[in-house]
Every structure is written in structure tokens, then in C-alpha cells.
Amino acid sequence: MSNAKSGPNALRVSATDMALVQITRAGRIATVTFDRGNKANALSLDLMQELTQAARSFENDHETACVILRGRDDNFCLGFDLTDPASLALKDMPLSQRRVAFSLGSRLCKAWEDIAPLTICAIEGWCVGGGVALAAACDLRIASETTTFYVPEIARGLNMSWGSVPRITNLVGPAKSKRLIILAEKLTATDAVLWGLADRIAPSGSTLAAATNWAETAGQMPPVALRMCKRDINAYANALAGVASHSDYDDFTLMYGSDDSAEGIASFVEKRPPDFKGN
């Protein structure tokens, strides 16, 4: 960041430290933008590491009131990149190495959940799978009129992980979580707000402006009280979250090597219905 200072703020990550993530600042509002340079804007391992680094850069920051997270102008994120060479290479690696790699998603979302300032996710276009998990780790979500939420992990022979199941259930309730995660129902922005997955709809192309409006309101609040109340709300809402999701990346590690996963991913790539055998 161009306005880095000495002292604790010197520990903030600057935009030049990362290739895929940019952090900009306007007063007490920080905006984190991730862009892989293609329309899918999927989460590769490299991008996930940078987004985790970006979230943790606010740990020693006592000035920021709000952090806005956004993807590209056409799509927020189409989920975990199943074609990422680094991810594909994990299949041939030892179990211990795969476990560590597949815990990255959980660490990414936990890092965003643990940011002390208010966090607002500005979502344009599609928000899929891991993108939904990342958005659910933020405090508030603003969707554009053209946004669609979609969780296809089960349809790919995988499980929804990254600690996202309890977070999503907190937002929409158990029955709607099953419709979203198990039945893979696609949600429009209107449905997402009705369900509680999103908090506001903005015209296409204006989610950042809407998020900035809320962020400016947060910036007028007493900073310590804001952070304390956020911590209290999260502590209550997430009291049992770790119990529900403590093994989800182990489950993902198991499922990623299954025949169902191989069939689910192959059918997705080949654009055909999957033929699961339950193996």
C-alpha cells in the first residue's frame, strides 16, 4: 500500500507483495481484489495462499474499520480450480502432504472470518463452491442483480468443506443448507437475500459502491466497540462450528481420491451427466 507507515501498520501487505491479489486503501476502508486474469477467476492453490496472506495482513492493524473483498467485474469466483496443475499433482503425493494442502481452504476461510474489522463481500456474477465458502466467511454479502450462487461439490463427487457447512447453516438454516449443498440448487440474488445467504442486492456493476457505502457507515462507528461486538456475535454463532467441521478437509482428502470424485470431475470437464457407483 502506498500509505504504509512505521509501527504496526508497516506490517500490512502491500499491493506489490502479491501477484493475484491487490490491497488498496481509502481512509479506514481497505479493499482486497483478487483476479487470476480469466473469467472463471477460480481458486488455485497460489491464489488461496495470497488471499490467506491478505487476510492475515490485518492482524496488527488497529485503524481499519472495514475490509471489502471482491473478485472480478464479471464473476466473483467459480470455485476451487479443478484444473490447477498444483492441485492435480497432489493425487500422486503422500497422504501427509495432501492433508496439509487440502487444509489450505479451511485456513483461508478462517483467516477471513478472524479479521477484526467488519468484512463485506462484493459479489458480481457467479459465486460458486469455494467462492461461496469464502463469501460465507465474511460478515456481510452484497450480490449484484445478475449474481448466481451455486454449490456443486456433491455433484462432483466431493464434500463441501473449508468450514463452510456450519457458516452457511448459520445463515440460511438446516433445510435450506441441504437444498443448497446437497441438492445443488442454484440461487438467484433475490433468492439468496430471501434465504439469508446474501444481505443486499445492488445493480450489476455497483456492488463495490454499495459495499463502500456500508463500509463508510462502519467507519463512523467507535472502532473498539465495533470489533468487540463482532467478536461476540461470531463467538456465539460459531460456538459449535469447529465440532461440525473439524474433519471436513480430511473428508475432502478421502473424497478427492475416490472413484466418485474421478467420475464427477470427468463428467464436469466432458460436460455430461455423471454416473456414480458409490465407491
The CB density around residue 47, as the number of other CB atoms within 10 Å, is: 22
> Quick count: other Cβ atoms within 10 Å of Cβ 176?
19
The domain that holds 164 is classified in CATH as: 3.90.226.10
| Residue 61 covered by a domain | yes
169 lies in which domain range? Answer: 7-207+223-270
User: Do the domain assignments include residue 214?
Assistant: no
Q: What per-residue confidence (pLDDT) applies to 277?
A: 79
Residue 275 lies in a domain: no
Could you count the other beta carbons within 10 Å of the beta carbon of residue 38?
Answer: 11
Residue 279 lies in a domain: no
Which residues, given as ranges, of the chain have pLDDT below 70? 1-16, 278-279
pLDDT of residue 5: 37
Q: Judge whether 212 lies within some domain.
A: no
Residue 218 lies in a domain: no
* Structural domain total, the chain: 1
Residue 64 pLDDT? 96
Asked if residue 43 belongs to a domain, the reply is yes
Q: Is residue 90 part of a domain?
A: yes
pTM, two decimals, is 0.90
CB 157 within 8 A of CB 256: no
pLDDT at position 2: 34
Helix (H) or strand (E) holding 150: strand 148-150
pLDDT tens digits for range 161-186:
999 999 999 999 999 999 999 999 99
List CB contacts of 80: < 8 A, sequence separation 6 or more.
42, 43, 87, 105, 129, 130
CB 112 within 8 A of CB 121: no
The DSSP-derived string for 205-254 is: T-HHHHHHHHHHHHHTS-HHHHHHHHHHHHHHHTTTHHHHHTTHHHHHHH
* C-alpha of 143 from chain center: 14
Would you state the pLDDT for residue 11?
Answer: 36
